[in-house]
Each structure stands twice: as C-alpha cells, then as structure tokens.
Amino acid sequence: DTGVSQDPRHKITKRGQNVTFRCDPISEHNRLYWYRQTLGQGPEFLTYFQNEAQLEKSRLLSDRFSAERPKGSFSTLEIQRTEQGDSAMYLCASSLAGGTGELFFGEGSRLTVL
Amino acid sequence: QQQVKQSPQSLIVQKGGISIINCAYENTAFDYFPWYQQFPGKGPALLIAIRPDVSEKKEGRFTISFNKSAKQFSLHIMDSQPGDSATYFCAASKTNRDDKIIFGKGTRLHILP
C-alpha cells in the first residue's frame, strides 16, 4: 500500500493554458475526492466519485473544471483556460465505502498561474 | 454559510503546556468528527476522530471532548511538543451518506521550545 499519490506535485502555467492533475488512490478504495486548498484556509470540497460515477460536484467546480475516473481507479482533474484565481493546492483523497469514514490524502498538486 | 467553525486561528503554547482548539458545527446530521493535522507541503493526515455517541476520546497526548447538545467539540494536546507545531483542522461528515468531509479553516499551532 503506497498511499494516495498525485502528479505533478508542482505546476506553473500561464493564464489561459490548460492543466491536468492525476490522482492514484489507495488500490482498494472505491471513493475518491478532490479538494482545493488556498493559503491559510482549510481544504474545500470540489467533487467525489464512487467507483467511476461522479456523485457530487461543488458549486466551486466551474465549467472550466472537469474531473473523470474512467475505470474506477485513477482520476484526473482538468482545468481549462486557467485564471490566476485557480492558483491553489489541489488535494486528492480516497476512502472505502462502509469503512471508518477516514479520508486518506495525497500530498497535493500545487498550481501557480502566472 | 460555514458549517464548521474553528477557533483560534493561531495559537502559541510553551513546550509542555496544553494546547486547546475549539470547533462548532451546525448540521445535526453529521456523525463523524475528525481532527486532521497538516505540516507544510504535506496533505492533511487524520490525528483522532470521534462519533457523537461518546463525550470524550483519548489517544496518547491527544483528547477530543464532544458536547452534542452544544454542537461543539475540542482538541486538547497535553504536554505539547515542538514537533506538534502544525496546522490543525477540525472537520465533520455524514458517513451514513458519503465520506465527504467539511473542514474548518484551521488553527496554526506553534509550540515554543
């Protein structure tokens, strides 16, 4: 069990470019979550999947954001036409439905939009 | 509307002292109340958690006190150590529905050596 892994750890991009982040959850976990964390704030929920189904999306997830989990394993979060306000840490977490309720977090992907 | 309110924003405690962080929630449907610890550049990690059917849970130097009627809970760190310096988040979720966690805004704790 290698834990939740995220890639890339850091991404610097220019405004207007598209970026994609990948998350590999703990292998037996069927739930996967994306959160966004800005400096000095707590993580804010963006969206979550159970297996390959996206079951909830926050109003924070604008039309420029899209998340997928095509085979119920890894997930991608794409941001199109990035804006400076998108600069944040994007955290992925996973859990097992019917488990303890604990979310296991990755170390995050830090996005800087210039 | 902030569902989980945390205080203080920052806290400085002498080594060996007691660190206390408070949290209040609004939704009585929450049934799981974890505290997460986060070090700079790392993701949050579960420290300790409680369910509303108990009023206190202790794990080593860390204790959660839970007051269901007041909709409040707190984290106590006994014999605080410099290695405890981190940001702490209280949180809540409805595990009978999903495991989506709602976080407080965090408390930055600094333990003086």
pLDDT by residue for chain A (114 residues), tens only, comes to 579 999 999 999 999 999 999 999 999 999 999 999 999 899 999 999 999 999 999 998 889 999 999 988 999 999 999 999 999 999 999 998 888 889 999 999 999 999
Dihedral sign of CA atoms B68, B108, B9, B4 in order: negative
Distance between CA atoms of residues A56 and A38, nearest Å: 21
The minimum CA-CA distance between B26 and chain A, rounded to whole Å, is 17
Strand pairing report for B56-59 and B72-77:
unpaired
Summarize pLDDT for B36-83 with one digit per residue, the tens: 999 998 999 999 999 999 999 999 999 999 999 999 999 999 999 999
Chain B residue set in contact with A, beta carbons under 8 Å: 6, 32, 34, 41-46, 49, 89, 91, 93, 95, 98-106
Identify all chain B residues contacting A93, using CB atoms and an 8 Å cutoff.
43
Copy the structure tokens of residue A102. 């604990």
Say what the pLDDT of residue A1 is. Answer: 54
Say which of A4, A55, A103 has its CB closest to residue B101.
A103
Q: Is the pLDDT of residue B1 over 80?
A: no
Contact B66, B73 (CB under 8 A): yes
